Structure 1
Amino acid sequence: MSTNTNTAPDIKAKHRAMWALGDYPSIAADVIAALGPALVEACGIGAGDRVLDVAAGSGNASIPAARLGATVVASDLTPELLDSGRQQAESLGLTLDWREADAEALPFTNDEFDAVISCVGVMFAPHHQESADELVRVLRPGGTLGLINWTPEGFIGQMFATMKPYAPPPPPGAQPPPLWGSEEHVRALLGDRVSEVVARRERLTVDCFDTAEQFRDFFKACYGPTIAVYRSIADEPDRVRALDRELAELGRRHDRGAGTMEWEYLLLTAVKK
């Protein structure tokens, strides 16, 4: 956790509460399930590897890694998400270490893991450099770092841009999450501590919403950041209606036909020097 600002504890408490809103595990399981296995495969994770999943949520990448025989620690700031992941893992007969932890102050030793991964997770920690420093610190030399993050230009990045005028101003020092979807930004964060950087933009096909309004209403009910924005304008019905319109329009612009959308993300892997 950042120690250079008096607002840091408040930021973390708000983030923890925000991600406990709604039903993020449904999004992880029903909408973006393919991302976790894609990240695990890109990192070459296999049996016996010691893996840390940072901002793991309900285990979108942790559980696929454990299925391959890796020893997995799934860490997240929000205990409700960890509880959901733990229940899912137990139903599959898998054993993981579910650990409440702050991505900006990980409770692990230097060089502890063979692979450190994060699937649309660490991007939401407010202080990007601190998070990046922690990802590298706990990874052993020669180990693999793997990240999937939504791009600023892609659907989710544009959804955050749509919601921004309706949201309260971010705390001082907090950086926009979609910056993690910029290869240049991530390379700058990691610096010369890594090599063999491979970054490519990929697209997730999403076909579980029949209409743009269905997408909007699902996210209003299930996605913590969207719920938080709507709560902040709940007493302003004109603004609520305006945001309703803009989110539906966003969905329509990205509809490729028959309710199918493609959500762009950055897949980046690197090796610690």
Structure 2
Amino acid sequence: MSTGALSSEADSLKARLKQTWMAGDYDRFSRYLEGGAREFYERLAVPPGSRLLDVGCGSGQLVLMAAKDGLDVTGVDIASNLIERARARAQAEGLRVRFEEADAEALPFEDASFDAVVSLIAAMFAPRPDFVAKELLRVCTPGGTIAMANWTPQGFVGQMFKAVSKFIAPSGMPAPVLWGDEATVRERFGQGLAELHLTKRHYLFSYPFPPSEVVEFFRLYYGPTNRAFASLDGGGREQLRQELETLWSAHNRAGLGCTMVLAEYLEVIGVRA
């Protein structure tokens, strides 16, 4: 395949990806995930005054935490509506944060612009992971921190993606959950990191409503699930709903009327060479 054809295919994938993440209401969806975001952010222990870039910042949950801690913060995301929402949240709280609509595969910053480059369940979804790894390395200062949290193939969200993918055609990009595979992460960053620490952790999904309503919540507000349901006919939607309800129910650790599921992710913390 020619370089032009490959580029055109990548552009098409990115256009679909942007539509996916602009669907639903990720800001509302993410409010239930702030506890896990804070745990991830606090383990990084980035010193005040550091320049931090959040790649795939969504509606701003992690960057707002960092800004309150006195960091010099920039957030980027492919979804323009999420950037607008993040900017509004920062303004409402009187926080100074720079936001830009940008692509994780082509970050609009000079080399070595940031002391910490982080991505919480975000850059893993870009279609060309090798480009992502190069960009994260490029914009980070030598000795700086590169940190990611990525769903694992075998964890709960990996299983959920597998269930959804049975109903919709593959996107043509490498499986995002490969970013949750230790050997793959080591290969992608290669010699760019002087140190690399990989730890499997659990993100808590906790909802004050039962699994059936969690599935509906994901259908309404989580872009990938929203688009999956929208692509199906009535029978397909009902079958997907049943499979997801079964999955959530099987992993639910809460009592009647509530849902609590632990979702495994790979925490990636590296030191830029």
Q: Under TM normalisation by the shorter chain, which class is it? A: over 0.9
2:250 corresponds to: 253
Q: CA deviation at 1:129?
A: 0.7
Give the stretch that moved more between structures: 73-82 or 9-18: 9-18
Task: Report Cα offsets for 1:27-78 as digits up to 9, x if no partner.
Answer: 211x211233223222221311011111111112211111111111101111
Match of residue 183 from structure 2? 184
Give, in angstroms, the shift of residue 209 of structure 1. Answer: 4.3
Give yes or no for contact 1:77–1:101 (8 Å, CA) kept in 2. Answer: yes
The separation in 2 between residues aligned to 1:209 and 1:241, in whole angstroms, is 23
Q: Give the alignment's TM-score, normalised by structure 1.
A: 0.94
1:202 maps to 2:201: yes
1:39 touches 1:146 (CA, 8 Å); kept in 2?
no
> What is the DSSP-based 3-state SS (H/G/I as helix, E as strand, rest coil) of the residue aligned with 2:81?
helix
1:42–1:146 Cα contact (<8 Å) kept: no
State the secondary structure of the residue aligned to 2:7. Answer: coil
**What residue number does 1:226 align with?**
225
Consecutive unaligned residues of structure 2, counting only runs of 5 or more, are none
Query: Which amino acid in the other structure matches residue 180 of structure 1?
Result: W
The answer as to whether partners of 2:148 and 2:269 remain within 8 angstroms in 1 is: yes
SS in 1 for 2:33: coil
Preserved contact between residue 24 and residue 226 of structure 2 (Cα < 8 Å): yes
Alignment partner, residue 272 of structure 2: 272
What are the equivalent positions in structure 2 for 1:73-222 lying under 5 Å apart? 73-171=74-172, 174-222=173-221
Q: TM-score, normalised by structure 2?
A: 0.94
Partner SS, residue 75 of structure 2: strand
Q: Deviations over 1:125-170 (max 9, x none)?
A: 0111111110001001000001111111112111100000111231
Higher helix proportion: 2
Paired residue total: 267
- Tell me if structure 1 keeps the 8 A contact 2:36–2:204: no
Amino acid in the other structure paired with 1:210 = F
Q: Cα–Cα, structure 1 residues 62 and 93, in superposed 2: closer, same or farther, change >3 Å?
A: same
CA–CA distance in structure 1, aligned partners of residues 147 and 30 of structure 2: 18
Q: CA RMSD in A?
A: 1.4
Partner residue of 1:24? 26
Partner of 1:237: 234
Q: Tell me, in whole angstroms, the C-alpha distance in 2 between the residues paired with 1:238 and 1:260.
A: 28
What does the per-residue CA deviation read over 1:209-247, in whole Å, with 9 as the maximum and x for residues that have no partner? 4311011000000011011111111xx222111111100
Query: Residue type matched to 1:227 in 2?
Result: N
Q: Secondary structure at the match of 1:72?
A: strand
Q: Is residue 211–residue 249 contact of structure 2 (8 Å, CA) maintained in 1?
A: yes
Stretches (4+) displaced over 6 A: none
Query: How far, CA to CA, are the matches of 2:64 and 2:228 in structure 1?
Result: 30
Query: In 1, Cα distance between the equivalents of 2:201 and 2:10?
Result: 33
Q: Which of 43-52 and 108-117 deviates more? A: 43-52
C-alpha separation in 2, matches of 1:221 and 1:245 = 16
Task: Report SS of the residue matched to 1:166.
Answer: coil
- Identity in percent: 34
Letter in 2 for 1:176: A
Instruction: Specify the alignment match of 1:37 in structure 2.
Output: 38
In structure 1, how many angstroms separate the alpha carbons of the residues matched to 2:115 and 2:128?
24
Matched AA of 2:239: A
Structure 1 stretches lacking a partner, 5+ long: none
